């Protein structure tokens, strides 16, 4: 009996030994490889978000391949470290820690949902990592360790509403704010509500409505929208996310609501999402982004061509978050070359003010103060082929407002990472109080 236990113990120990040897050997073998620069890719490759995030991983791989073909960065080859956080928010934090602590990556491109970003934020701040976040989001955030390459609300939601208010957009007087029930739609709608009130829209002319994730029965909501809209021009601002969009648009079409009567502007519907939909009922409805595949310029044409070649599929489409990764990656490469090192602190310093020629057709600049991009806003109508017909755009890139001036609580907050502010969320300069930063 005793002997047997002892045997088992020895066996277990042996197994443990082999296992830990394997564990150590893995990272050690790659750590020895000093002539590569490691780029972490933190996108879900399984689970509900895989549909959107997989193509972002592919974009980063494509950019790395292209950069290596040009000779790499600082004379070294780039090496991608891809992990799969599986659409599981806590797992995002674990995988982020693994990328920085175990694989020792120099930069991470990743996350889609705001929940996942909030989940990895403490990890990046604790380990002083560098994250490029490519998706439009609700704002109200600025981190020392994150560069936001997607749109803040004033670069997407507010211009879209202004367009719908204009004569060309239908001169909407009443507003339906419709969203999936989680942080991004709720915060965006809060900002929009304050904004609309500033514009003199009465409270009774705003209808705010939320549905659970994966909601599929929009009969009542669409009927209510019709009732609400009777008599005056109305627009719907949709922050419905993911799969629910299909039954929503199908119901709109089935109940005979046409885009010219009640236009719907969506913030989460792009070319990639339209691939899985029958676009016919959506024609004429709008989406606001910073980039569309249908924008015509040489940079974009080259980007689309490269993407189709990389994926080997003529039917693949490009979209806004993919373009954001292109901008972020190009800027990071420039910053590393300027800094002469991949050291996170040095690269961060160099990132501020970087400018690249983007597929959206504009020169895009990184704001040194709030770590967001200056981006143009483009509004497009959905066409039958799942693309967008551009109906309105800003004259040029506009600066992101990390903290919305429309929300009273955050109007006085300032995100500024340059001396003497050095903070992402404060009302007065406070550089001394931030340890590790003032040491620079």
Partner 1 sequence: MRTILSSSLGGLARRFFVVLGILFILPAQGVAGEFEDALAGLGSKSRKQIKSSIQQLAHLEDPRALPALTALLEKRLRVDAEGRLYEVVEDSGELLRIPGGEVVASPPDSLRKPRINNAVRRVLGPAIAHLQLDSPDADVRRSAAEALPDRLSERMLPDVRAAAEREKDPQIRELLALALARADIQSGDSQRQLAAVELLGESGGRVAASILSTLLEQIDSEEGSEADPALRKAIESALARIEMRTDLIDMAGNLIYGLSLASVLLLVALGLGITFGLMKVINMAHGEMLMLGAYTTYSVQILFLQYMPGWIEAYMLAAVPCAFAVCGLVGMGLERGIIRHLYGRPLETLLATWGISLLLIQTVRLIFGAQNVEVANPDWLSGGFEILEGVVLPWSRVAIVLFASATVAAVWLLLQRTPLGLQVRAVTQNREMAACMGIATGRVDMWTFGLGSAIAGLGGVALSQIGNVGPEMGQAYIVDSFLVVVLGGVGKLAGTVTAALGIGVVNKLLEPLTGAVFGKILVLLFIVLFIQRRPQGIFALQGRAAES
**Contacts with partner 1 in 53-72 (CB under 8 A)?**
54
- Residue 247 touches partner 1, criterion: CB under 8 A: yes
Contact stretch for partner 1 (CB under 8 A) within 121-129, 151-159, 162-170, 353-361: 162-170
- Residue 385 touches partner 1, criterion: CB under 8 A: no
- Residue 221 touches partner 1, criterion: CB under 8 A: yes
CA–CA gap between residue 267 and residue 86 (Å, rounded): 24
**Which positions from 274 to 313 touch partner 1 by CB under 8 A, shown as an x/- string?**
-xxxx-x---x-x---------------------------
- 4, 32, 70, 227: which one binds partner 1 (CB under 8 A): 227
- Residue 440 touches partner 1, criterion: CB under 8 A: no
CA–CA gap between residue 11 and residue 176 (Å, rounded): 65
- 231, 312, 408, 435: which one binds partner 1 (CB under 8 A): 231
Q: Of 391, 324, 387, nearest to 359 (Cα)?
A: 324
Q: Which helix (H) or strand (E) holds 50?
A: helix 50-69
Which residue has tokens 């983007």?
358
Minimum CB separation of residue 87 from partner 1 in Å reads: 11
CA–CA gap between residue 256 and residue 129 (Å, rounded): 51
- Residue 215 touches partner 1, criterion: CB under 8 A: yes
Q: What is the side-by-side strand order in the sheet with 264-266?
A: 206-211, 174-180, 234-239, 264-266, 286-289, 378-382, 388-393
Q: Of 257, 285, 259, 248, nearest to 270 (Cα)?
A: 285
- Residue 181 touches partner 1, criterion: CB under 8 A: yes
Q: Which helix (H) or strand (E) holds 174?
A: strand 174-180
- Residue 214 touches partner 1, criterion: CB under 8 A: yes
Minimum CB separation of residue 177 from partner 1 in Å reads: 13
Q: Of 213, 160, 150, nearest to 185 (Cα)?
A: 213
Interaction site with partner 1 (CB under 8 A): 48, 50-51, 54, 167-170, 181, 209-212, 214-217, 219-221, 223-224, 226-227, 230-232, 243, 246-247, 250-251, 253-256, 258-260, 263, 275-278, 280, 284, 286, 381, 384, 389, 391
């Amino acid at each position: 009996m005793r002997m047997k236990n002892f045997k088992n113990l020895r066996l277990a120990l042996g197994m443990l030994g082999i296992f830990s040897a394997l564990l150590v050997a893995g990272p050690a073998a790659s750590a020895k490889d000093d002539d590569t620069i490691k780029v972490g890719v933190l996108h879900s490759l399984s689970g509900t978000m895989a549909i959107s995030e997989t193509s972002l991983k592919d974009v980063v791989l494509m950019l790395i391949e292209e950069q290596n073909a040009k000779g790499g960065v600082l004379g070294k080859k780039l090496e991608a470290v891809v992990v799969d956080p599986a659409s599981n928010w806590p797992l995002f934090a674990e995988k982020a820690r693994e990328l920085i602590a175990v694989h020792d990556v120099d930069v991470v491109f990743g996350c889609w949902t705001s929940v996942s970003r909030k989940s990895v934020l403490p990890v990046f701040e604790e380990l002083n990592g560098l994250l490029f976040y490519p998706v439009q989001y609700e704002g109200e955030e600025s981190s020392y360790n994150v560069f936001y390459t997607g749109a803040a609300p004033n670069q997407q939601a507010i211009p879209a509403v202004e367009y719908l208010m204009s004569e060309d957009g239908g001169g909407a007087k009443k507003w339906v704010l419709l969203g999936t029930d989680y942080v991004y739609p709720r915060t965006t709608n809060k900002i929009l509500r304050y904004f609309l009130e500033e514009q003199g829209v009465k409270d009774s002319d705003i209808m705010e409505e939320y549905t659970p994730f994966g909601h599929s029965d929009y009969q009542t909501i669409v009927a209510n929208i019709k009732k609400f809209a009777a008599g005056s021009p109305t627009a719907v601002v949709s922050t419905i996310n993911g799969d629910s969009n299909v039954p929503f648009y199908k119901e709109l079409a089935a109940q005979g609501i046409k885009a010219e009567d009640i236009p719907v502007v969506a913030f989460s519907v792009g070319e990639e999402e339209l691939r899985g939909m029958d676009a016919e009922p959506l024609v004429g409805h709008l989406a606001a982004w910073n980039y569309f595949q249908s924008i015509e310029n040489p940079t974009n044409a080259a980007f689309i061509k490269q993407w189709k070649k990389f994926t080997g599929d003529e039917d693949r489409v490009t979209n806004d978050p993919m373009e954001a990764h292109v901008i972020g990656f190009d800027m990071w490469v420039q910053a590393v070359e300027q800094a002469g090192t991949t050291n996170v602190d040095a690269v961060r310093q160099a990132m501020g003010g970087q400018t690249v020629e983007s597929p959206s057709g504009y020169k895009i600049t990184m704001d040194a103060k709030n770590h967001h991009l200056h981006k143009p806003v483009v509004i497009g109508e959905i066409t039958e082929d799942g693309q967008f017909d551009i109906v309105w755009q800003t004259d040029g890139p506009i600066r992101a407002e990390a903290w919305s001036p429309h929300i009273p609580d955050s109007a006085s907050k300032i995100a500024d990472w340059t001396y003497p502010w050095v903070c992402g969320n404060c009302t007065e300069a406070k550089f001394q109080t931030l340890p590790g930063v003032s040491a620079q």
